[in-house]
Structure 1
Amino acid sequence: MKILYGVQGTGNGHIARARMMASHFARRKVDVQFLFSGRPADKYFDMECFGDYQLRKGLTFATVNGAVNSFKTLLEAQPLQFVRDVRGLDLDGYDLIVTDFEPVTAWAGRLRGKTVIGVGHQYAFGYRNVPQAGVNLRNRLIMKMFAPVTHRLGLHWNHFNAPIVPPIINPAEKRAGVVGNHVVVYLPFENQQRITESLKSFPDTRFIQYSPELVDSQDGNISLRKTSLHGFKRDLCSARAVMCNAGFELISECLHMGVPVLAKPVAGQSEQLGNAAALQALGHARIMYEYDPAIIADWLSHPEAPRPQRYPDVAAAICDWLLSGNWHDTSELVESTWQLALPAGHRVFST
């Protein structure tokens, strides 16, 4: 089987999932062509596992100071380039198209009548039991039409009585035997200078602040770090707590290891607002909807560690499901993956 696998590259979470999928495809000797869109070519890093991958402009949401900016989003959209990318994508020779909310591959497959499988967190929001917030007609249309698929497989922290599976994380990744005294800060959609200055008001706490726009340096009690794969993972596994936006993948890794989280959803971003609602409903993390030093101070004084969720190797199970060709039926996949999770992952919400 030859697979075209599209990955939304705006955030690192989609790419982190793709790394796990790439590893399992390689073990099964599956021929996979990866395509990424959503960020400039020079902003990708640690991509060796994807081989000779393709890049496209794609579509993404522009943010300013922690909130979605509609005008900037439209200004940067380049719809004609998107249409050219969709129409120019060669789908000949592929047996299956898989997309993790990547629009070029999804629309190219749709327009040519190909089977497109959506595997990703966003595909969980189509079920009514999944917590949602900040959703209006525009957001519903975006979630439905941004990367349309033939069959969908959503990922989330709980099954919410819906046919979705646990997060794709690396189950071998464990919290360090000796936890450090630092707090990892990853708020890439915020003003980084503002974050740094704010963190200086907590001189007794050591912070490691990550962002793609930072340069490795030290500023008082704050270690500034440019986003990287291995350095970030090392600091994450030994962190006493994490402060981040309400993206799915990083918080999944924290929940897997039982790391306390303070999450700030991006304003106007319905996925992150829905994640915040789910975290509150599950009791898994503290939420601040506006950047507020008072909330940070209270959280730092007693960060509550969630019970480690110990998610199973979901990527391996999804690979086998994709290769089976039985894409109409997810029941066995859903049941088997949740059975492998610890009881904390089995909290059932009433329909």
Structure 2
Amino acid sequence: MKIFYGVQGTGNGHITRAREMAKAFAEAGVEVTYLFSGRDAAKYFDMEIFNGYRVMKGLTFHTQNGDVSYLKTAFDARPINFIKEVKALDLGGYDLVLSDFEPVTAWAAKLGNKKILGIGHQYAFNHRIPREGGDVIATSVMKYFAPTRRNIGLHWHHFGQPILPPIIAPHEPPPRSVANKIVVYLPFENPTDVVRLLTPFKAFDFMLYTPAAITSPSAHIRVKPLSRDGFQNDLYDCAGIISNAGFELVSEALHLGKKILIKPLHSQLEQISNAAALKQLGYGRIMHELDAKTIARWLENPHRVRVTYPNVAHILVRWMLDGMPPVDEDFIEASWSQVNVLQLND
């Protein structure tokens, strides 16, 4: 089987998900060509698993101080260049095209009448799941950004819909966590504002991951460059995370049993809806602005949830190799029956 796999590269969550799929494909002996779009080629890191991957400009969302700027997004879209990339993408010779919300691949497959499957969290929004913050622009973006004829949506809970659990690395939780260690990943916020916000909480050690080159004036706030291995090591034994409401990081934190505080991007349907789902499920706390009082209450609250998810990447690869039969109730139930939710208060 020969697959072409397009991955949205604007955020790291799609790439994290694709890494797990890449491992499953490699173990099954499937030949895969990877395409990433949404950021400059030089800004991708720890990409060794995607041997010989390709990069295109594609489309991306622009943010400023925690808010999506649709005006700047539209201004930088360069539709002529995007159309050229779509027309130039040759998908001939592939048995299946996959898109993790990657627009060049999705539109090239659509216009070329190729067999395509969408896999990702965004495709869960085709079903009745918690949804907030939607408007005409946001809803249109979700529908037309990377359209696929068939798709598999992913979420933290099934909500009675034909969707699957998250695709994450199946790690065992640590035997113990460092009680005062907090991982902070707020790439869409001003990092200077974040440092200022965390400075008063000197009883805690914050691992602040940011693409910005800044220096922390406080010993209890360690500013770290983006690194897959470094981030995973800190995430593994920390007590909790403070992050934007990206799907993949929250999924990993839930799987490891971490305390969660999220600050969704303004004007971003997916992140605002993720916050609503997290609140409905009781899996974490929300702050809609960078708020010291909310952080103080969250730091002192020991409640956390551990959600054990199966190896969904292996489930999906086996399903593809079996010819992608209809996703029926038995398939969905078999996947969710392996999920276990444990409430923790230590």
TM-score, normalised to structure 2's length? 0.95
For 1:156, the equivalent position in structure 2 comes to 155
Structure 2, unpaired ranges of 5+:
none
Question: Quick one: distance in 1 between partners of 2:11 and 2:331?
Answer: 27
Check 1:171–1:136 CA distance in 2 against 1; reply closer, same or farther (3 A cut): same
Q: Which moved more, 1:92-101 or 1:294-303?
A: 294-303
Q: CA deviation at 1:215?
A: 6.0
CA contact (8 A) 1:58 1:104 kept: yes
Partner SS for 1:144: helix
2: CA distance between counterparts of 1:188 and 1:330? Answer: 38
Superposition pairs of residues 102-251 of structure 1, within 5 angstroms: 102-128=102-128, 130-175=129-174, 177-214=176-213, 219-251=218-250
Q: Tell me the amino acid that sits aligned with residue 138 of structure 1.
A: I
Q: For 2:341 and 2:177, how far apart are their aligned partners in 1?
A: 26
Cα distance in structure 1, aligned partners of 2:302 and 2:63: 28
Question: How big is the alpha-carbon RMSD for the aligned residues of Structure 1 and Structure 2?
Answer: 1.6
For residue 327 of structure 2, what is the aligned residue in structure 1? 329
Distance 1:107 1:280, change over 3 A: same
SS at match of 1:223: strand
Larger CA deviation: 331-340 vs 315-324:
331-340
- What CA distance in whole angstroms lies between the structure 1 residues aligned with 2:212 and 2:179? 25
Partner of 1:52: 52
How much does 1:321 deviate? 1.2
SS of 1:49's partner is: coil
> Where do 1:59-74 residues align within 5 Å?
59-74=59-74
Question: Any gaps of 5 or more consecutive residues in structure 1?
Answer: 346-351
User: 1-side partners of 2:209 and 2:179: how far apart?
Assistant: 17
The DSSP-based 3-state class of the residue aligned with 1:74 is: helix
1:286-310 Cα distance to aligned partner (Å, 9 max, x none): 000111111111111224211x111
Partner Cα separation in structure 2 for residue 319 and residue 215 of structure 1:
41
Deviations 1:74-111 (A, max 9, x none): 12211111111000001111111000000000000000
Q: Cα distance 1:83–1:211, how it changes in 2: closer, same or farther (>3 A)?
A: same
The answer to whether the aligner puts 1:315 opposite 2:313 as a matched pair is yes
Moved more, 192-201 or 7-16: 192-201
Residue of structure 2 equivalent to 1:349? none
Segment drifting more, 171-180 vs 221-230: 171-180
Conservation of the 8 A alpha-carbon contact between 1:200 and 1:220: no
Distance 1:227 1:180, change over 3 A: farther
1:340 aligns to what? 338
- Once residues 88 and 147 of structure 1 are traced to their aligned partners in structure 2, the CA distance between those partners, rounded to angstroms, is 17
Does structure 2 retain, via aligned residues, the 8 Å contact 1:98–1:119?
A: yes
Change (3 A) 1:188 1:303: farther
Relative to 1, partners in 2 of residues 1:98 and 1:218: Cα closer, same or farther, differing over 3 Å?
farther
Deviations 1:220-256, CA, capped at 9 Å, x for gaps = 3110001101110000011111100000000001111
Which residue in 1 is equivalent to 2:290? 291
State the alpha-carbon separation in 1 of the partners of residues 216 and 4 from structure 2: 40
Give the direction of change, closer, same or farther, for the CA distance of 1:296–1:13 in structure 2 (3 Å limit). Answer: same
Aligned-partner Cα distance in 2 for 1:178–1:139 = 38
Distance 1:241 1:74 in 2: 36
Query: How does the TM-score come out when normalised to structure 1?
Result: 0.94
Amino acid at match of 1:211: T
Give the AA of the match of 1:324: D
Q: Percent identity?
A: 48
Write the distance in 2 (CA, Å) between the matches of 1:330 and 1:50.
32
- Counterparts of 1:80 and 1:199 in 2: how far apart (Å)? 44
For residues 27-106 of structure 1, the aligned pairs below 5 Å read 27-106=27-106
The answer on whether the counterparts of 1:7 and 1:14 sit within 8 Å (CA) in structure 2 is: yes
Aligned-partner Cα distance in 1 for 2:324–2:205: 50
Partner SS state of residue 278, structure 2: helix
Opposite residue 301 of structure 1, the aligned amino acid is E
Give the paired residue count: 343
Alpha-carbon distance between aligned partners in 2 of 1:27 and 1:216, rounded to the nearest angstrom: 42
Name the CA distance, whole Å, in 1 between partners of 2:72 and 2:116. Answer: 30
Instruction: Assess if the C-alpha contact under 8 Å between 2:245 and 2:264 holds in 1.
Output: yes
Assess if the C-alpha contact under 8 Å between 1:244 and 1:263 holds in 2.
Answer: yes
Paired with 1:123 and 1:148, the residues of 2 have a C-alpha distance of 9
Amino acid across the alignment from 2:327? D
3-state SS in 2 of match to 1:164: coil
1:176 Cα deviation from its structure 2 partner: 5.1
